[in-house]
Amino acid sequence: MCGIAGAISFVEDMREDMKIYENMQRALLRRGPDQRGMFMSREAALIHTRLAVIDIDGGRQPMSFGRYTIVYNGELYNTAELRGELSEDFDFDTHSDTEVVLKSYIKWGSACVERFNGIFAFAVYDEQEHRVFLARDRIGVKPLFYYDTGSKLIFASELPALLEHPDVPHEIDERGAAELLLMAPGRTMGCGVIRGVEEIRPAYCGYYTAEGLKLREYWRLRAYELHESFEQTAEHVRELVLDSIRRQLVSDVPVCTFLSGGLDSSLISSVAAAELKKQGRQLSTFSVDYRDNDKYFQKSHFQPDSDPEYITCMAEYLGTDHHWTVVDTPELIDALDEATEARGLPGMADVDASLLLFCREIKKYGTVALSGECADEIFGGYPWYRDKNIRMTDGFPWAQSTAYRKRFLCDDYAARINAEDYVYSAYRNTADSAEKLDTDSPLEARMREMTELNFKWFMQTLLDRKDRMSMYSGLEVRVPFCDYRIAEYLYNVPWEYKDYMGREKGLLREAMKEWLPEKVLWRKKSPYPKTHNPAFLEGVTAKLRKILDEGGEKLTQLVKREELEKLLRHEEQVQWYGQLMNLPQTIAFFIQLNYWLKRFDIKLR
């Protein structure tokens, strides 16, 4: 797990920009605090910072073999199988997956990515062919942004590192404004928000040559007929989930798990605890809570109960070495700026900030953690999958707030952006891209659309959050439910199977019932915990009030001051995004937006 960056040109001499590359590398040090390296030639500058997890000594990067040099961020979970295939053609000097990725590319070319089971973003420079191969994992767990000047390609794991290059503009145009105020914390897939900045999309790869960058899609969710009974499907799911979790426990450093007391993290913790027990080791588990949440917690449709009693139940059931992180309101508010720094964009407000603080505490104990993200998207766990009215509503089910959001656009951008068209066309294009069968019922066809929408939008927002908040503390967080084999299989499982017993993720519960106590197995879904302390709303209100009182010039160039004033009067309670972003989080989002505009000196076009 690492940070990567670089620049490629077949016109300019890359060796003349050493200071720039050092600055880019410095911006990535939090992603890779253990080792750093740089490869320089006339055509290519390849930059690396390393978080050492596999083969601590042998996995240093950039790694070269003959005419090829790689910088790689990620983890392969089928390294052993690939090394076995490659051993007919190559000797191996390390047991790192980096060497396997490089030699897979040498043997199979661009088709190598179709053989990988893992999370990755990497670049391979071929000195003889004068080209660079770039690729990103199928699901989009690991990031890779780029900017094409026309004569040079600049790339980096994160936007702050990319912005260290003077050729990359610190500007947004109407597209960036629309992303920030109509979509955020979501983001159109492939859009880097900054003018001219793009992101290689999940499951895309391609070459940069003197003719430019040409990318292709190498994987997507495909529709096919599933001829299995419910019992066979449950068995198939159980095998896939167990295999994915077990593969992702491989590490040369200690592995721990997040534990929220919900279905997904509890399943991962249960399997991990059993595997470590075979080795005579005890699993460490980690949970987050908020000061005084027991006093202020209020049940809602989205959060029917709080986590602590279920966490305690699981920790005792598994006999783990359990650790609590308790976040207080002042430090949560203080961390909003740092969370923006980590994401490189304004994000999910306190939901980001709390995860940042949580990961910082986990890092004191270990380097690798497993988390339960993406089960809800793949197994249909969210309320918008199961509420018959919401799931048939035209538009993104987690953000029915376009009319409210567009009020915040300053007059200039409001005149240049058709808010409804921008959001609806993004929704419609994604829904229409879902592959279907002629035999699909209207319900099955819609559920395929829902999966595609969640896969390409909501899940990407959470994966961005997970990657940036964890890697900012040098913590690698793996996501077993993001195994592409699980995703492509579940895409074709009938909705009546997924909705077994009328319960969210009913199929997953049934398939894994032997791994959990009944109390946790059938617990109603509850999202990532947030603070319920009224002091948070008071605190963010005071902070945004201060920003406006002191001028707030950056923020009010983009956002209408009068709408921010209304927000501070708490006149409306509009759901900004998903289950967790309401009035306090909306105020906190604008605090983050202000910080981002100032921190990166963003200009408006």
Return contacts of 168-172, CB within 8 angstroms, 24+ apart.
168/194, 168/196, 168/197, 169/194, 169/195, 169/196, 169/603, 170/194, 170/600, 170/601, 170/602, 170/603, 171/195, 171/602, 171/603, 171/604, 171/605, 172/602, 172/603, 172/604, 172/605
How far is Cα 406 from Cα 575, in angstroms, rounded to an integer? 14
- Nearest-angstrom CA–CA distance, 208 and 124: 10
Could you tell me if 226 and 493 are in contact, meaning their C-beta atoms sit under 8 angstroms apart? yes
d(CA 584, CA 336): 12
Copy the structure tokens of residue 505.
């993720």
With the C-alpha atoms ordered 572, 577, 582, 587, is the resulting torsion angle positive or negative? negative
DSSP string over 23-90: HHHHHTTTT-BSEEEEEE-SSEEEEEEE---SSTTTT-SSEEETTEEEEEEEEES-HHHHHHHHTTT-
Quote the CA–CA distance of 90 and 103 in Å, as a whole number. 8
Residue 368, beta-bridge partner list: 255, 476
State phi, psi for 257 to the nearest 5 degrees.
-135, 150
**SS3 for 376?**
helix
Q: CA geometry: angle at 146 spanning 140 and 147, to 5°?
A: 155
- Identify the CA nearest to 172 among candidates 154, 193, 186, 192: 193
Which residues does residue 68 pair with via DSSP β-bridges, in sequence order?
Answer: 65, 126
Residues 105/126, Cβ–Cβ less than 8 Å: no
What is the sign, positive or negative, of the torsion defined by CA atoms of 385, 388, 392, 397?
negative
Q: How far is residue 37's CA from residue 21's CA, in Å, rounded to a whole number?
A: 11
Tell me how far apart the alpha carbons of residues 123 and 362 are, in angstroms, rounded to a whole number.
30
The phi, psi pair for 3, rounded to 5°, reads -120, 135
370 closest CA partner among 246, 258, 260: 258
DSSP E strands, 433-516: 476-478
> Which of 2, 205, 256, 374 is labelled catalytic?
2
In angstroms, rounded to a whole number, what is the distance separating the alpha carbons of residues 25 and 71? 12
Active-site residue flag, 2: yes
- Asked if residue 175 lies in contact with residue 190, where contact means CB atoms within 8 angstroms, the answer is no
SS (H, E, C) 278-331: HCCCCCEEEEEEECCHHHHCCCCCCCCCCCHHHHHHHHHHHCCEEEEEEECHHH
* Contact of 177 with 558, CB cutoff 8 Å: yes
d(CA 214, CA 218) in angstroms, rounded, equals 13
Coil, helix or strand for 581?
strand
Q: How far apart are CA 596 and CA 592, in angstroms?
A: 6
- Beta strands (DSSP E) in 333-486 are 368-370, 476-478
Active site residues: 2
